[in-house]
Structure formats: C-alpha cells, structure tokens
Structure 1
Amino acid sequence: MTQQRLIRGFGYGIGATIAMSLFMLVATVTGVSPMPEPIPKAVVGTLFGSGLPKPVLLVLVVGLHLGYGGLFGAVLARIAHPVTIWKGLGLGVVLWAVMQVTFLPFLGWGVFGLATTPQIAVATLVLHLIYGGILGWTLDRDLTLTSRESPATAD
C-alpha cells in the first residue's frame, strides 16, 4: 500500500463529498429536502451548541464534512483492490446505514429519520449513492491510469 494511494483516495473522497453536498445544498435551497436542516450543520450544532458565530459554524461544518468524506475515500482506496464503482456504491450504502442508526438518533430525528419523516431515509440514501458512485468511479479511473503510467508506483 502506497501513501500516494491513500492521498489520492482522500482527495477523491473530498471531491465526492463536494458533489454530494452540492446536491444537498440545491435540495435545501429549493425546499425539496425533507430534512429540517443539512445533517452536517445539525450535527455540529448539536455537538457545539447553537451559539456559535456563523463563520465558526461554517468552518466546522465544511471541515468536518470534507474530512469525513476524505477519510472514507482513503479507506476505500486502502481496502478495495481494485476500486470499482460498485465498491464505491457499497461504501455509500454502508455509510448511509451507519448514519441512519447513529447520527439521526443523535439529532433526535429517530432511526432512519422516522421521528421526523421517513423521506429522510430515502433522501440521504440518494446522497450517499451519489458520494459512493462518484468516489468509486473517479478513484477507479485515477488509480487505473496511474498504475498504467507508472508501474513502479502501482500496488
């Protein structure tokens, strides 16, 4: 396992998180989202309280969300040989399931968001499939191209 592979996984994890977040942001702004607020913001607000200044809140929300997405991009790069879109989608489903039974109850929204609305489970599944699909596809393409160009750095 090369350090370069982990770094690439982390970077593509951040990219996939940004893509997923753009969908979440559009859904929130247009009123389509069934969530009372974006989950990363709700988690940070619950952990640190609602009295945080907006710039601090924004830095924490974005930093933690990108860090979390990057971390799991590196995890996928580490455990999946080869990385595929299907493995990325599988990771997205696993992360979604963990969120449903940990983060959502922590927020008071209930398991699978049932204390708020069951639509949360579907909306968050779509978001995690976007994350996993983009992560698996881009990381697969990058690692395949990288290993073809430089066999000395391939795993």
Structure 2
Amino acid sequence: MGYGLLGTLIMSIIMLIGTGTGISPLPEPVPLAIAKGLLGSLAKPVLMLFAVITHFGYGALWGAVLFNWVKADGTIWHGLGWGVMLWLIMELIVLPLLGWGIFGSAITPKIAIATLVLHVIYGGTLGWGLNRMKSSQVNQ
C-alpha cells in the first residue's frame, strides 16, 4: 500500500503542476471531476478534500492488490503493466462517464497521452517498490 501511496503522490504532484501551469490538456484533474460528478456543486474545498482522499485511497488499494497478486516475485514490469491496465480502465470507463469520451476524445486526444504518462509513473513506482522489497528479502 505504501508504494501505491507514493506512486499516487508523485503522479498527483505532476498532474497538479501540469494543471497549474496550463501544460496539461486536462480541463481539470480527473479526481476532482469525479468528485464533482459524485457530489455535485459542493464548496470547492470539500470537493478537493474528497478528491484527494479517494484518489490516495484508490492508489493505495490498487498497490495492495498488485502486491497480493504478485507477492515477492514483483518486478518493475508488473508495476508498469498494472499502471497501463488502470489507465485503460480510466480511458474506457471513467472518462466516458465524465462526458470526456473514450480516451478523452470529446475534449482532446492529448488527454490519453497525458494520463498514460501519469499512470506509467504510478505503475513504475509500484514496480520499483516491489522490486526493492524483493531485493531486501533476498539480502536478509
């Protein structure tokens, strides 16, 4: 779970920098868009808090699921594949539910690339963590 939280933190920082600087093709961070869709027009601080808590919980949960699936045999490739799988779920299910279209096509296809990069960072962090755990177990 810890590496899932770390991966979520890194991808969130990059997402917020991209959004804040205007580099990101996303109209807003996906967790915030989901919070708005679920909670409606609550005050922005409430929506942000909900978005942050659920995004980090989601990242930690999927990190734990991956760890339990691969256990001590995890590699960076497992993590990268996991990140791509989660990206596909977002692109094919979540973004259409937000009205952004498959792969963000209702807004811009650049969303698909930007979110892929973020999910590869998340998955790479998970895989690195799994590999690090495996290496520390071998050295004991």
1:78 aligns with 2:63: no
Q: How far, CA to CA, are the matches of 1:63 and 1:118 in structure 2? A: 28
1:57 to 43, 47, 64: 47
Unaligned runs of 5+ in 1: 1-9, 150-155
1:17 aligns with 2:8: yes
Larger radius of gyration: 1
**Deviations 1:58-91, CA, capped at 9 Å, x for gaps:** 2211110000000010011011141110000000
SS, match of residue 26 in structure 2? coil
- AA aligned to 2:58 is Y
- Under a length normalisation based on structure 1, what TM-score does the superposition of the two structures give? 0.85
Q: How far, CA to CA, are the matches of 2:21 and 2:102 in structure 1? A: 25
- Under a length normalisation based on structure 2, what TM-score does the superposition of the two structures give? 0.94
Cα RMSD for the two superposed structures: 1.2
1:69 aligns with 2:59: yes
**Deviations 1:108-146, CA, capped at 9 Å, x for gaps:** 000110011000001000000000001110232024314
1:30 paired residue number: 21
1:40 paired residue number: 31
1:133 paired residue number: 124
Between the aligned residues of both structures, percent identity stands at 54
Q: How far, CA to CA, are the matches of 1:54 and 1:24 in structure 2? A: 18
1:145 paired residue number: 136
SS, match of residue 102 in structure 1? helix
